[in-house]
Chain A
Amino acid sequence: MLVICTFDHSLHLELAITKLEQEGIKKDNILAAPLERRKEEKKIFDTIHHSDGISLFDGALTLGTVFMVLGTIYGFIWTWGPIIWGLIGLFVGTGSGLMLDLLFNKQKSSTKKIGDNFSEVVIIIKCSEDQASMVKQVLWEHNSLGVSLVGIKK
């Protein structure tokens, strides 16, 4: 019997494997294949975090700081004072930075982005037929994303 399942990288994954070993599955009968994600070529200069979601934060916090400083400064001469204007600056700056980044990224990304629903590790476990339901149970208990039982010829 083959049990094929997928996991995200997590401590649950290691807990599941060690639990299976405790229950009598031999280590040599467990095969783990961490998947590599499709990603762009690494660059030293320029926009290196383009593909991992951080770039959205760069622009937002950059403009957020600028506008918050300006809000705090002009707050000293405007009616609502430096605190309110500072906060308005933070939100306006962060919001517009985020919008600009989203707009910019939309134009630039021609390839499909990988969503959050991406299994990171595939695990194949070889076991006897009477062990299969136990293995399945252990996998589900440890947050496996999907499990498949495959019969093999004797």
Chain B
Amino acid sequence: MERIPSTKRLRRPKAYISAFEANHVHLRNPWMTVWLSATFPGFGHIFLGSYLKGFLLVIWEVIINVNANLNTAIMYSFTGQFDLAMSVLDKRWLLFYISVFVYSLWDAHRATVCMNKYSILADRNHAPIVPVKMNSIEFNYLDKRQPWLAAFWSLAMPGLGHLYIHRLLTGFFILIWWIAITYFSRLLEAIHYSFLGNFSQATAIANPIWLLFLPSLYAFAIYDSYVTAVEYNKLFEMEQADFLKEDYQNPDFDINDVTF
């Protein structure tokens, strides 16, 4: 049977599958993308599959936050050391933060609502899906994968869960940031001292500017890989169901006819 070779000709496509990545529209809770953007501007957009915007916002966040000493100021503010918080903030950078931060929340919500409409339209139109793509260096296919396994690999090392479900752009991006932030925050040394019971040394060596990036990144990697695994499974089922309906529902199928 001839399948549609690419999604380019479709007006309301459900998914675009390349050898590196399957990007598709599915229903998402807009407030969840807003929340992801709040934990780290850009994560909401990466969750939506809007990579260039997401990468740009994440890089912007890291540069402004580090230069303005924002994370250190947050740490001091939460622990009641307000004078220290005031003194570490760099006013040359700080005000950059506000408008782009708010924009990332607003745009994440707006884009999710819009993409949800596209998702419903694609479902109603039964947009065909291409289940396999390969090129000379990669191979991508829809398959049933275990969401909990994706979450587990993200827990072991952020980025691996995305490699498992073959969302390579997110996987590489998270992996690279995780290594960079771990290195600058001196996380591994702090873990080492913590497990030896030397807590004062762990506290002294940990760098709050970088360390406070890690919880958001860690949780996002787990959440995104899990949810995407679930949605890829649904995409697989949807594609297979459409295929079966088209190829294996002969209108002349008669159970009383005994000629084979």
Residues of B within 8 A of A61 (CB): 219, 222-223
Docked pose: A152 CA to B30 CA in angstroms: 54
Docked pose: A76 CA to B76 CA in angstroms: 9
Contact A62 B144 (CB under 8 A): no
B165 to chain A, nearest CB (A): 15
Residues of B within 8 A of A153 (CB): 256
Contact A49 B29 (CB under 8 A): yes
Docked pose: A124 CA to B248 CA in angstroms: 10
Q: A77-B79, A81-B190, A81-B206 are in contact. Are A49 and B27 (CB under 8 A)?
A: yes
Docked pose: A31 CA to B252 CA in angstroms: 10
Contact B253 A29 (CB under 8 A): yes
Docked pose: A97 CA to B22 CA in angstroms: 30
Band of interface residues on A: 35 or more
Contact B260 A73 (CB under 8 A): no
Q: Which of B8-16, B60-68, B97-105, B112-120 interfaces with chain A?
A: B112-120
C-beta contact mask, A64-80 vs B, less than 8 Å → 1, else 0?
11001110111111011
Q: Which of B51-59, B87-95, B171-179, B239-247 interfaces with chain A?
A: B239-247
B181 located at the interface, meaning its Cβ lies under 8 Å from any Cβ of chain A in the complex: no
A76 to chain B, nearest CB (A): 6
Q: Which of A32, A53, A83, A127 has the most CB of B within 10 A?
A: A83
Residues of B within 8 A of A26 (CB): 260
Contact A82 B190 (CB under 8 A): yes
- By beta carbon, the residue of chain A nearest B32 is A58
B149 located at the interface, meaning its Cβ lies under 8 Å from any Cβ of chain A in the complex: no
The listed residue (A45, A76, A154) touching B206 by CB distance below 8 A is: A76
Residues of A within 8 A of B191 (CB): 83
The listed residue (A28, A46, A57, A152) touching B258 by CB distance below 8 A is: A152
Q: Which residues of B contact A (CB under 8 A)?
A: 27-30, 32, 35, 39, 74-75, 78-79, 113, 116-117, 120, 143-144, 187, 190-191, 193-194, 199-200, 202-203, 206, 208, 211-212, 214-216, 218-220, 222-223, 226-227, 230, 234, 236-237, 240-241, 244-245, 247-250, 252-253, 255-258, 260
